[in-house]
Every structure is written in C-alpha cells, then in structure tokens.
Amino acid sequence: MTIQVQQRLPHASFQRLTDNGVITLSTDELFGGDNVVLFAVPGAFTPTCSASHLPGFVALAEQFFQAGVDRILCTSVNDAFVLDAWGKAQQAGDVQMIADGAGKFATSLGLANDSGDFGGIRSLRYSMFVQDGVVQILNVDAPKTFETSKAEVLLEQIRQRQV
C-alpha cells in the first residue's frame, strides 16, 4: 500500500556520511517538528537524476527555504558513500543526502520498484512535503518518467498552501 497524504511516515533509519564517518538518523530526527522536503531518485549518478532531478532542488533551495521549508533531503537506494560522492559531484549545497541503502524506507512507503538485473530494488521517483512527520503533499512519477516530482512542481504546491 502506497503512503497517502495525511499519513505519518513510517519509522525508518537512514545513513549519512559525515566528517566523523557514517551516522544513522531516524525519521523522528529528520522530520520531527520541521517542514521538510523529501525527494527520491532511482539512483545516484544516473542520467535524469544527475541532469535534472537533483539540480532542480539545488537551484530552488533558497526559494524552498523562503517558503517555510526547514530542510531539503534527497534519498536513494544507494549507500552513504555513493550518495555523499554524488552530492559533492553535483555541488548539492543545502540538499542533504540520506541513504536508504537496503530500500527499506522506499518499500515501507510502497514506493519501491524492482528494476531486475538493472539495479534490483530501487525507489520510485517522488517528491513530498512533510510537516512534523506527516505527509502533506506527495508527487509520484510512474517508472521511467519525470514529471510530477520536479522541484518547481513541489515548490508551487507549497506556495499554494500558503495562500
């Protein structure tokens, strides 16, 4: 079952590479009490993810913050080392990379996809706006598409909520 608007995110753990090594962060730590943008990509260093998806959120980060967002998170079914390297290569700036290495979070959301020999379990491409752990906006793209999860789409939806 796919997570729906007004549902609380399931408990999950993510990994992030820091100067002190890999740390584990829970959904409570990442989403509790804050307005958070979360977007997921099928894989770091892949064409659409690198050329369009992540760069869109990087370019619009300041506008998201002006719209009341506290944190922008990018997740993928990659390990923390790969996501950190990708973030650096993409100059991700204010977009924080959080690894869902085994795909447990994507699976618990009902947003995992088995890509077979291409890469195994991957996350579907999506974006969401989460307030204090509760999904307020959810945009999920069909496999191999990139339409509704774009940064500009989510930013406009967040702005519309403020009117």
Higher-scoring residue by pLDDT: 25, 118: 25
Q: Render the chain in DSSP notation, one character per residue.
A: ----TTPBPPP-EEEEEETTEEEEEEHHHHHTTSEEEEEE-S-TT-HHIIIIIHHHHHHTHHHHHHTT--EEEEEESS-HHHHHHHHHHTT-TTEEEEE-TTSHHHHHHT-EEE-GGGTSEEEPPEEEEEETTEEEEEEEPPTT--STT-HHHHHHHHHHHH-
* Res. 116 pLDDT band, cuts 50 70 90: low
Reported pTM: 0.94
pLDDT in the model for residue 1: 81
For residue 121, what pLDDT is reported? 82
Concerning whether 49 is annotated as a catalytic residue, the answer is: yes
pLDDT in tens, 124-151: 999 999 999 999 999 999 988 999 999 9
Domain borders along the chain are: 13-162
**Average pLDDT, integer, range 66-86:** 97
Q: What is the CA radius of gyration of the chain?
A: 14
pLDDT band at 160 (very low <50, low <70, confident <90, very high): very high
Superfamily of domain 13-162 in CATH is Glutaredoxin (3.40.30.10)
Catalytic-role residue among 49, 54, 58, 155: 49
